[in-house]
Amino acid sequence: MKASSYLIPTAKEDPQDAVVASHKLMMRAGLVRKSAAGLYSYLPLGLRILKKIEGIVRSEMDRAGALEFQLPILTPSEIWKESGRWDKMGKEMFRLKDRHDNESCLGPTHEESFCVLVKPMVRSYKDLPINVYQIHTKFRDEIRPRFGVIRSREFTMKDAYSFHLDDESLDKTYQTMRKTYRRIFAGMGLATIPVQADSGNMGGSASEEFMVVSPIGEETLTICPSCQYSGNIEKTPVIQNPKTGKQPFAGSEKLHTPSKKTITEVAEFLKTKEENLLKAVALWADGTYVLVFLEGDRELNENKLKNHLGCNELRPMGPAEMEKLGLVPGFIGPGFSKSEQLKVIIDSLIDWNFAYISGANEVDHHTSGIKLTNFFKEEEVTKIDVSQAKVGDPCPSCGTGLTAEKGIEVGHIFKLGQKYSKAFDITVLNDKGKATTTTMGCYGIGVNRCMATVIEQCNDDKGIYWPVSIAPFTVCLVSIAKNPEDIAKIESIYQALVAAGIEVLWDDRDLGPGFKFKDSELIGFPIRLTLGKGFLEKGEITVLDRKSMVEETVPFTTNEDLVGKLQKQIQTLRETLQNAVEQVGT
C-alpha cells in the first residue's frame, strides 16, 4: 500500500478529553475518531488492527472446535423477560420500541438469543457438546464512558456459549476455553492473569476474568505471591488472620464524640485503631432495608452483599428512611430500636466476644465495650463475608498475605450451569431416552478493549510499537528521493516486498523525512526501512526495529537478498510470539 493513496491523519497534540495512553495514541495515530461519548469510528489503519485481532480470536476459537454464527444485534424483549433479565440488566441496557410498539433492546450480550436459536437444534445427547460463538457489535449504556474504547457504549465482543449434557462435559470445555483464551491473548502480545471473579448478572457457579496488569485498570486483583491464587477483589473471600490480635479500647462507657461521624474521625478523636470500631452501613435493597455491621477498618463489598440478597439495586438509605427506622446517621450501634422492616447482616470477620466502640444511637455519642453477644442471638441474624479484601489479608488457599495490582479485564469465562437452560427449557434425551436439562458455559472477549490494552502495554515517548501479529503493516518503507530514476529503484524494491507477501506501507508522500519518521514511530510499524541518500549513493539501507529503536545499516545487493533478510527478521518476531502462545497453551 502506498501512503499517497492511503488516509493517515496523524496529529501532534493529544486530544483534550483523553487521559490514558491508549486513547491519546489511537487518536493521534489516526486509528479512530470520536463520534460521540463512548462511540468511535475506526479509520483504515485502526480497522486493519481490529480485524487482525478478530482473526487471532477466530483462529483459536475454530481450533478449539467452536462454531461461528452471527445473530441480530436487535433482540426482542420477550426473551429477556423469559430469562428474568429484562429488569435485572438495569439502565445499561439500550431499550427501544418499533412502530408497532414492540419492545426490543440492543444486545449487551446474547445468552438469551443463542438459547432460543440452539434449542430446536439439539434434541439428543449425541448433539452435545456444542460451542457456538460470534464476533459482533454490542451496546451498553455506560453511565460514564471513558478511557476511549476501553469503556465505550458500542463495542465489538467475541461471545461464545457452550451446551452440555452434564457438569463434567461443561468443565472440560471450560478448561479448553481457559487455555484457548491464554493462547489468544498471548498471540496478540498480551500477558494475562486469570483471576477468580464475581459472576454478576450472568449468574452461574464459577467464573474467571483474564486481567492485564496496568496502572489504569479499573479492577483490583488480589494475588498470592506463594501459591497460584489470584482473584478479583470483588470476589476474593476474606478470612480471619489468626496471627493478629486486636488490643481493645479500655473501658465500657458512653463517649462524647461531637460531630465525629466517620470511622476515621472517631478513631483519631479517641486515639484508637479503626479496627476497634464497629461500622454500620444502612442500605436499601430492592425495597428491603438492610443494616450491615463491619469492623471499622473494612469496606463493604457491595457485590458480595448483592449476590447474597439477590437484589438488582443497592443504595444508601436517605435521611427520611433512617429517621423512619429510628436510626441516627453517623452514630448507629447495635443498641438501635429493633424493627421488623430492617434486616441485620453481620460480617463474618466480626468477633462476637470482642469489646468494640460503636455508635450510641444518639447524636454526638459513641459507646465503648460493646459486644454483639449482648444485643443479638447469632442464630437470629445473618453472618456472611461481605467485606472487601485488602493487601495483607490471608490468601484463601494458603494463608500467605495477599498483594494487589490494578488490571484491565480483556476476557471473562463463566460456568452458567442451568440458569438459562431452565428458563428456556432446553432439554435433550440422554442415552436412556430420558429428558435431561442441559448445562451451559459462556465465554467473552472485548475485541476493541484488547486493541487499547496492547497500546497500554506497548508504548513509549514516540508512540506505539505493535506486536507483529496485529500491526497495521509489518514494514514501513520510508523513501527520500526526488529523481524519477531513484523513485523507480525504490518502486522495484516495494514491488518485490509486496510479491513476497510482506505487508508493507510505502511512505511515498511528498513530505520531509522527519515528518515521515515521526509518523512511522507514532503509528508503530514493527520494522522501518529507510531508502534515502545512503541507498542511492552507497547501496545501504537503514533498518529500524521499532520496539527496541535499534537501527542497523545493511548493504543492499539485490531485491531478493533484502526480501530474504526481512523475512528472517519477521519470522523471528513471529516465533517469539508463538513461543509465548505455546507456553501458556500448556
CB distance 223 to 209 below 8 Å? no
Residues of the chain with pLDDT under 50: none
The 10s digit of each residue's pLDDT in 54-63 is 999 999 999 9
Tell me the whole-structure pTM to 2 decimals. Answer: 0.88
Confidence (pLDDT) at 412: 95
Res 586: pLDDT: 64
For residue 32, the model assigns a pLDDT of: 97
Q: How far is CA 145 from CA 91, 220, 307, in A?
A: 14, 19, 25
pLDDT at 585: 66
DSSP string, 111-161: HHHHHHHHGGG--BGGG--EEEEEEEEEE---SS-BTGGGB-SEEEEEEEE
Going by C-alpha positions, the residue among 300, 296, 366, 364 that lies closest to residue 335 is: 366
CA 572 to chain centre: 31
Choose among 450, 561, 364, 502: nearest CA to 192.
450
Going along the chain from its start, the domains and CATH numbers come out as 16-223+403-456 (3.30.930.10), 254-384 (3.90.960.10), 465-585 (3.40.50.800)
Render pLDDT for 510-559 as a digit per residue (tens, 0 to 9): 999 999 999 999 999 999 999 998 998 899 999 999 999 999 999 999 99
Strands (E), 467-523: 475-479, 504-507
| Per-residue model confidence (pLDDT) at position 199 | 59
- For residue 205, give the DSSP letter: S
DSSP letter assigned to residue 556: -
pLDDT of residue 203: 52
Please tell me the predicted confidence (pLDDT) of residue 200: 59
Q: Which residues of 243-270 are buried (b: 16+ CB within 10 A; e: fewer)?
A: eeeeebbeeeeebebeebeebeebbeeb
C-alpha cell at 125: 445427547
